[in-house]
Amino acid sequence: MTSHIELPKYSDEPLAGILNTLRLERLDGDGNVYRGQNMPQFGGRVYGGQVLAQATVAAADTVSRGGDPEERLAHSITAAFLRPGRTDTPTDFEVFELNDARSFSTRSVRARQNGTIIFTARISFQLLQPGPSYGTPVPEAPDPDALPSSVDFFAQIDNDWGHLMSTTNALDMRYVDGNIFVRPADPPSNHTQVWFRTRNPMPEGSSKLLQRAMLGYSCDQLMLEPVMRNTGVFWGHPAASVATLDHSIWWHRNFDVSDWILADLESPSAQNGRGLSIAKFFQGGKHIATMSQEGMVRLRHITK
């Protein structure tokens, strides 16, 4: 049995593969346990953004049950990545209903593989209400159409990594300061900007919840880049060891991940093989979300 939240049907890859992982199966009838499948990943490790997005959908399903899923939208999530998951093993999500008040609902989610907890999260939902509104002004950045595309970059990489990214990564990313896929940043900097959007348009009827889950899915692959750029680490480095430890998101306003979003990222500190990154996201002149992430960023010692 699928979750109560209906996701629109979609068949165009690579976006379809991601949306299918968000189509969760309820394991206990009308209960709060869900199962999700995994996207393929290099090295067989589950992508953290996928688990975060699945947890968001699972929690929202228990909030909207019997009502309008757009009435109370997720406005924040605080997540901890405890152990790496395996792509060949389904992930089960157990949702705990902590609170349903007049304006807010709170859920706790535990994700397990083979009975072992790999991820936990607290997610808050709020009834749409009137109130004061302001946001950070949009920073200056070049037009995304004037910047090189990550889609074109990976299409030219003739190896397993390039093929996987070309066929499964649903994002088109445009780096203002150049990408760090195969070489370090030059010059090093703890600040960077990235434009991104989905390579395929989101399907007609995509809910605001699905858009928010997709933003969480997308940004886990960007958040630690300021730390990497300032420490000489790049994605293709043979000794690079990069992993998310915790990730918080505050969704401020509605948006469409099919249209260009500007991520403005900065790392205030790195130490002991860990780094912290804070990012603001903008679309259409509005500040749509803020994120923070701490992760492990270090180079392994390789013996010859």
Per-residue confidence band for 231, with pLDDT thresholds at 50, 70 and 90: very high
Distance CA 288, CA 296 (A): 27
**Span 29-44, mean pLDDT?**
88
Q: Is-catalytic flag, 259?
A: no
> Among residues 54, 231, 283, 293, which one is catalytic?
293
Percent of the chain's residues with pLDDT above 70? 95
Task: Please write down the long-range contacts of 143-151, taking CB distance under 8 Å and 24 or more positions apart.
Answer: 144/174, 144/195, 144/260, 147/174, 147/175, 147/176, 147/195, 148/174, 148/175, 148/179, 149/173, 149/174, 150/174, 150/175, 150/179, 150/181, 151/199
What ranges do the domains of the chain cover?
Answer: 15-129+144-299
301 pLDDT tier (thresholds 50, 70, 90): low
> 223: helix, coil or strand?
coil
Query: Are the beta carbons of 87 and 38 closer than 8 angstroms?
Result: yes
Give the integer Cα–Cα distance in Å for 126 and 208: 13
Report the chain's mean pLDDT, rounded to a whole number.
92
Comparing 28 with 199, the larger pLDDT belongs to 199
Q: For residue 7, what pLDDT is reported?
A: 72
The model's pLDDT over 149-185, given as tens digits with 9 standing for 90+, comes to: 999 999 898 887 888 888 888 999 999 999 999 999 9
Tell whether pTM > 0.85. yes
Q: What share of the chain is helix, strand, coil (3-state, %, to 5)?
A: 20, 35, 45
Choose the catalytic residue: 56, 92, 193, 220.
220
The amino acid at 292: S
What is 15-129+144-299's CATH superfamily? Answer: Acyl-CoA thioesterase, double hotdog domain (2.40.160.210)
Residue of 85, 24, 31 lying closest to 58 (CA atoms)? 24
Q: Which one of 61, 244, 264, 283 is the catalytic residue? A: 244
Mean pLDDT of 296-300: 91
Residue 168: predicted pLDDT: 82
State the pLDDT at residue 258: 97
pLDDT at 3: 63
**Three-state SS at 273:** coil
249-270 pLDDT, tens per residue?
999 999 999 999 999 999 999 9
Q: Is 220 a catalytic residue?
A: yes
CA quadruple 34, 40, 43, 47: dihedral sign: negative
Contact 224, 248 (CB under 8 A): no
Please give the share of the chain, as a percent, with pLDDT higher than 90. Answer: 80
Split at pLDDT 50, 70, 90, the class of 303 is very low
pLDDT greater than 70 at residue 304: no
29 vs 169 pLDDT, higher one:
169
Of the listed ranges 46-55, 66-75, 200-209, the least confidently predicted one is 66-75
Handedness of CA 208, 119, 224, 134 (dihedral sign): positive
Q: Is the pLDDT of residue 63 over 70?
A: yes
